[in-house]
A = this chain, B = another copy of it.
């Protein structure tokens, strides 16, 4: 089955499992709104790409891993957009969750999406109980403390910031977790896959930095110039657009080289190289030329 279809179906299954006519409808609507329609789904695509390279012998489990990773990514966006953090009014081309549903439902939607992610893993993990604990630990490590997304976001509250730890935790960790989860779901050990995910994460961060500097907000569905406003580090501001584009290409190529031995190594390398060619929106490539 097509990867996009697999991801959307897995997310639909996860979200429906949390819905009921006798539950409060506002929260269910806010959760659905946070997850659909699709964003780029980069992280679940990485999870499924790694699982496929590792022969994907239990697709129900890799689907669940991909969905869990994306649910957690969506949860982090909902909470990041809250007035206490970025106070972003738009996301994926529409009002952010707290703008559309109010702050209480935005807090709760984020919380409930986190819980749903772990339930999704447990539901699929019953048939492969030996893989469930490592899967949950890989996913938890990517989003919690001390080194996951929550820690990354919390660096913004510190008076002195370890920049590299900040970026590794805020974006790298979930990419590493996506790659690790894909490997574990397919019965492989995750350790070597984490670096692959981290490199990809760095590359996507640089692409994001370039977009934040030169993209049209309409094109990317969110406001630009946010890094300058929030005094966040931005590779394109530091290295210049050309320097950042070169750095991005090097990171994608390094990611492809990092792929550990596995049955589908060649195909995954080709996928990463193809991804590298379209990682920046066309309009951004033109503007940045």
Contact = CB atoms under 8 A, between A and B. Distances in A.
Contact of A133 (B108, B116, B132, B146): B132
Interface size on A, as a range, is: 35 or more
A84 to B, nearest CB: 4
B126 A162 contact: no
A151 B27 CA distance: 7
B144 A116 contact: yes
A37 interface: no
Contacts of A104: 84-85, 153-154, 156-157
B153 A108 contact: yes
A19 B145 contact: yes
A25 interface: yes
A102 B133 contact: no
B158 A140 contact: no
Nearest to A76: B111
A150 B116 CA distance: 11
Please classify the interface of chain A as helix (H, G, I), strand (E, B), loop, or mixed, using the class held by over half of its residues. Answer: helix
A37 to B, nearest CB: 20
A132 B125 contact: yes
B150 A111 contact: yes
Interface string A123-156: 1011001101110110011011111101101111
Nearest to A148: B115
B79 A111 contact: yes
Given A27-B157, A158-B26, A165-B22, A119 B132 contact: no
A134 B28 CA distance: 24
B31 A145 contact: yes
A39 interface: no
B146 A19 contact: yes
Contacts of A93: none
Interface string A146-176: 1110110111111000100100010000000
Contacts of A256: none
Contacts of A82: 107
A137 B122 contact: yes
A118 B140 contact: yes
Contact of A144 (B112, B123, B134): B112
B158 A25 contact: yes
A158 to B, nearest CB: 5
A140 B122 contact: yes
Interface in A153-208: 153-158, 162, 165, 169
Interface of A: 18-20, 22-28, 31, 75, 79, 82, 84-85, 102-105, 107-108, 110-112, 114-116, 118-119, 121-123, 125-126, 129-130, 132-134, 136-137, 140-141, 143-148, 150-151, 153-158, 162, 165, 169
